Amino acid sequence: MSRLIFLGVPGAGKGTQAALLAESQGIPHISTGDILRAAVKNQTPLGVQAKGFMDAGNLVPDSLVIDLIRERLQEPDALKGWILDGFPRNVPQAGFLEQLLQEINQSCDRTVNLDVADEVVVKRLVERGLASGRSDDTEDTIRHRLQVYREQTEPLIAFYRDRGALVTVNGDQPMDAVTTALKAAIAV
Nearest alpha-carbon partner for 87 in 109, 59, 115, 114: 59
47 part of the interface to ligand AP5, by CB under 6 A: no
Reply yes or no on whether 124 is catalytic: no
Reply yes or no on whether 128 is catalytic: yes
Smallest gap from residue 65 Cβ to ligand AP5 (A): 4
Q: How many residues does this entry show for the chain?
A: 188
Reply yes or no on whether 89 is catalytic: yes
Nearer to ligand AP5, 1 or 177 (CB): 177
Which of the stretches 11-19, 21-29, 38-46, 98-106 binds ligand AP5 when contact is defined by CB under 6 A?
A: 11-19
Instruction: Confirm if 73 and 82 have CB atoms less than 8 A apart.
Output: yes
φ/ψ of 115, rounded to 5, equals: -100, 120
Which of the stretches 28-36, 72-80, 95-103, 104-112 binds ligand AP5 when contact is defined by CB under 6 A?
A: 28-36
Reply yes or no on whether 70 is catalytic: no
**Count residues contacting ligand AP5 (CB under 6 A)?**
29
Residue 39 CA to residue 181 CA, distance in Å, equals 33
Residue 179 CA to residue 173 CA, distance in Å, equals 10
Active-site residue identified among 3, 37, 51, 89 = 89
89 part of the interface to ligand AP5, by CB under 6 A: yes
182-to-22, 123, 162 alpha-carbon distances in Å: 12, 23, 21
Reply yes or no on whether 72 is catalytic: no
Q: Which residues are annotated as catalytic? A: 14, 89, 128, 134, 145
